[in-house]
Homo-oligomer: A and B are copies of this chain.
């Protein structure tokens, strides 16, 4: 696991974030490449390719937006048992692009079909950027030969380049990796992500591409992705906005030597799932760390809710409240706003049962501020950049943890002139 998180904001200030990139492994059966198609009118890499010469299985989770990108309409029809390629571009979301957008994808797919004998159902597309602008087909198509020629098994350096190539307003490349010891050798897991603004659950507005060589069944892979999304990529929020293009894809080349994982309740499955969860959580947290303008990371633990669903609603209500997030930016222990955000949910709380903790300080009990409340102590804690709120509703056994960042003037300036 990466150690990126520790002292992240200090390092970011010092521009030394890249020093902590994790030791991303090669994944047997995966090749990657990235080039610049000049989509930004600069030389930055903006189109990238993930290629499986012998195929891979995959599972995907997509945005629930009803104005989703044509890429997603395309991907949901793909062959999950034998996928060959994933093509990613930035700068243009290929969303709300009408027939021009769909025709562009068809033409790009045809190129792969001609060059690599890949059928339409064996290639996936992921686009991110401005919505509603015509897709830059000529530019993207023009770099495909070069992209294919540059394909190589990934090493740390090329993983970094790949992670950088999928960024939009992100300020650093997001990577995470881990290995799982098995009966024979290791299973590798390596993932990259992108996302900074427009981050909210269902899905977080972002990409997560995770690769493993685990010998695993399609069915178990699907289940593992779906049940670990809820507490990772769907537990983060930057601004409550949901994009047209979100997706998390989990691929396996099945090249590892482990005995096949086809029973989700087996010990091997549990070992693998635990590590997969950690990689997914690590990537999710990195997206929050890079929240537009973020200078503080906030973890919100809800326990004692009527059920997990309400726990999530309460956690997300706090995480999405502009008033909570601006108080966080100002290091103001204005806990009344936490209470306000709890109160606006559908959970039928009992005021006198709510216990709020900020860091180690108990703030409320018996429906009021505790007599021992020490504002200066809490204020000092909130001056830090890794803040934890614990809320116990004392109603039942529901729990959920959400992750978010503060909301400060930099978010505004980033988004008031994103396109200029």
Neighbour of A98 across the interface among B202, B367, B420, CB < 8 A: B367
- Residue A166 interfacial (CB < 8 Å): no
Chain B residue with Cβ nearest A417: B330
Neighbour of A412 across the interface among B96, B241, B321, B329, CB < 8 A: B329
Q: For A93, list chain B residues within 8 Å (CB).
A: 336
Chain B residue with Cβ nearest A408: B412
How distant is the Cα of A351 from the Cα of B68 in the complex, in angstroms? 9
Q: For A195, list chain B residues within 8 Å (CB).
A: none
Q: For A334, list chain B residues within 8 Å (CB).
A: 130, 418-419
Nearest-neighbour CB distance to chain B for A389, whole angstroms, equals: 14
Contacting chain B: which of A20-28, A47-55, A108-116, A340-348? A340-348
Q: For A344, list chain B residues within 8 Å (CB).
A: 64-65, 200, 202, 241-242
0/1 interface trace, chain A 218-261, chain B, CB 8 Å (1 if under): 00000000000000000000011111100000000000000000
A339 touching B131 by the CB < 8 A rule?
Answer: yes
Nearest-neighbour CB distance to chain B for A405, whole angstroms, equals: 13
Q: For A326, list chain B residues within 8 Å (CB).
A: 411-412, 415-416
- Residue A78 interfacial (CB < 8 Å): no
- Residue A278 interfacial (CB < 8 Å): no
- Residue A263 interfacial (CB < 8 Å): no
0/1 interface trace, chain A 321-341, chain B, CB 8 Å (1 if under): 111001101101011110111
- Residue A4 interfacial (CB < 8 Å): no
Nearest-neighbour CB distance to chain B for A334, whole angstroms, equals: 6
How distant is the Cα of A352 from the Cα of B326 in the complex, in angstroms? 38
B132 touching A244 by the CB < 8 A rule?
Answer: no
Nearest-neighbour CB distance to chain B for A412, whole angstroms, equals: 5
How distant is the Cα of A239 from the Cα of B321 in the complex, in angstroms? 8
- Residue A146 interfacial (CB < 8 Å): no
B95 touching A336 by the CB < 8 A rule?
Answer: yes
How distant is the Cα of A6 from the Cα of B285 in the complex, in angstroms? 46
Q: For A241, list chain B residues within 8 Å (CB).
A: 321-323, 337, 340-341, 344
How distant is the Cα of A93 from the Cα of B335 in the complex, in angstroms? 13
- Residue A198 interfacial (CB < 8 Å): yes
- Residue A380 interfacial (CB < 8 Å): no
How distant is the Cα of A349 from the Cα of B321 in the complex, in angstroms? 27
A67 touching B339 by the CB < 8 A rule?
Answer: yes
Chain B residue with Cβ nearest A413: B409
A343 touching B68 by the CB < 8 A rule?
Answer: yes
A97 touching B327 by the CB < 8 A rule?
Answer: no
- Residue A394 interfacial (CB < 8 Å): no
26 pairs, A vs B, C-beta closer than 8 Å: A66-B343, A66-B345, A66-B351, A67-B339, A67-B340, A96-B368, A96-B369, A97-B368, A98-B368, A100-B368, A132-B364, A133-B336, A133-B369, A197-B323, A198-B323, A239-B322, A241-B322, A244-B336, A244-B339, A244-B343, A326-B411, A326-B416, A332-B417, A334-B418, A409-B409, A409-B412
Given contacts A132-B335, A241-B321, A327-B418, 14 further A-B contacts (CB under 8 A): A66-B342, A66-B345, A66-B348, A67-B342, A67-B354, A96-B367, A101-B368, A241-B323, A327-B416, A329-B412, A330-B420, A334-B418, A334-B419, A409-B413
Interface residues of A, Cβ cutoff 8 Å to B: 64-68, 93, 95-101, 130-134, 197-198, 200, 202, 239-244, 320-323, 326-327, 329-330, 332, 334-337, 339-345, 347-349, 351-352, 354, 364, 366-369, 407-409, 411-413, 415-420
